[in-house]
Structure 1
Amino acid sequence: MSDQNARAATLRDVAQRAGVSLATASKALNDRGDVAYATRERVRAAATQLAFTPNVVARGLIAGRSGTVGLLTSDLEGRFMIPILMGAEDAFGAGRINVFLCDARGDAIREQHHLQALLSRRVDGIIVVGRQTDPRPSLGQELPVPVVYAYAPSDDPRDLSLTPDNGAGGRLAIEHLLSLGRTRIAHVTGDPAYAAAQDRVTGARDALSAAGLEFVGEPMFSEWSEHWGRDATRALLERHPDIDAVFAGSDQIARGVLDAVQDTGRRVPDDVAIIGYDNWETLATGSTPEITSIDAGLQDLGRQAALRVFDAIDGVDIGAGTHHLPVRLVIRGSTIARR
Structure 2
Amino acid sequence: MRPPAVRMVDVAALAGVSAGTASKALNNTGQLSQETRDRVLQAAAKLGFTPDSRGRALSSGRTYTVALLTTDSTGRFSIPIMRGVEDVLSAGELATVLCDTRDDPLREQTYLRSMVARGVDGIVVTGRRTEPRPPIDVPLPVVYAMAPSSNPRDASVIVDDAGGAAAAINHLLSLGRTRIAHITGPATHRSAVGRAEAVAATAGEALCGEPLYGEWTERWGRQATDVVLRQNPDAISCGSDQIARGVCDRLRELGRSVPEDVAVTGYDNWPVMALASRPPLTTVDPRLEDLGRRAATLLLKAIAGRPHHGVLELPAQLITRESTLGS
Residue of structure 2 equivalent to 1:292: 282
Give 2:115's match in structure 1, choosing from 104, 113, 118. 118
1:278 aligns with 2:295: no
**CA contact 2:245–2:278 (8 Å) conserved in 1:** no
1:76 aligns with 2:73: yes
1:321 aligns with 2:306: no
Worse-matched range after superposition: 112-121 or 278-287: 278-287
Give 1:130's match in structure 2, choosing from 115, 127, 131. 127
**CA contact 1:76–1:82 (8 Å) conserved in 2:** no
**CA contact 1:187–1:219 (8 Å) conserved in 2:** yes
For residues 28-43 of structure 1, the aligned pairs below 5 Å read none
Give 1:105's match in structure 2, choosing from 90, 102, 105. 102
Residue of structure 2 equivalent to 1:171: 166
For residues 254 and 63 of structure 2, what CA distance do their matches in structure 1 show?
61
1:263 aligns with 2:253: yes
CA deviations over 1:30-49 (Å, ceiling 9, x no partner)? xxxxxxxxxxxxxxxx4334
CA deviations over 1:256-287 (Å, ceiling 9, x no partner)? 11122222222110111000001111111112
How far off is 1:180 after superposition?
0.6
CA deviations over 1:298-328 (Å, ceiling 9, x no partner)? 11211221121112112223x2222211111
Alignment gaps of 5+ in structure 1: 18-45
How far off is 1:6 after superposition?
6.9
Count of aligned positions? 295
For residues 171 and 191 of structure 1, what CA distance do their matches in structure 2 show?
19
Residue of structure 2 equivalent to 1:217: 209
TM-score normalized by structure 2?
0.84
**CA contact 1:130–1:136 (8 Å) conserved in 2:** no
Residue of structure 2 equivalent to 1:161: 156
Larger Rg over CA atoms: 2
**CA contact 2:249–2:278 (8 Å) conserved in 1:** no
Give 2:302's match in structure 1, choosing from 304, 308, 312. 312
Residue of structure 1 equivalent to 2:220: 228
Alignment gaps of 5+ in structure 2: 1-16, 45-49
Give 2:90's match in structure 1, choosing from 69, 73, 93. 93
**Counterpart of 1:129 in structure 2: which amino acid?**
T
Residue of structure 1 equivalent to 2:140: 145
Cα distance change on mapping 1:6 and 1:78 into 2, 3 Å: closer
**CA contact 1:100–1:118 (8 Å) conserved in 2:** no
1:189 aligns with 2:191: no
Identical columns (%): 45
**Counterpart of 1:197 in structure 2: which amino acid?**
A
**Counterpart of 1:47 in structure 2: which amino acid?**
Q
How far off is 1:94 after superposition?
1.9
SS at 1:133 equivalent: coil
For residues 193 and 275 of structure 2, what CA distance do their matches in structure 1 show?
26
**Counterpart of 1:281 in structure 2: which amino acid?**
P
Residue of structure 2 equivalent to 1:38: none
For residues 302 and 286 of structure 2, what CA distance do their matches in structure 1 show?
25
Give 1:63's match in structure 2, choosing from 50, 60, 65. 60
**Counterpart of 2:151 in structure 1: which amino acid?**
D
Aligned-residue RMSD, C-alpha: 2.1
Worse-matched range after superposition: 178-187 or 262-271: 262-271
Worse-matched range after superposition: 126-135 or 307-316: 307-316
For residues 199 and 210 of structure 2, what CA distance do their matches in structure 1 show?
12
How far off is 1:193 after superposition?
0.8
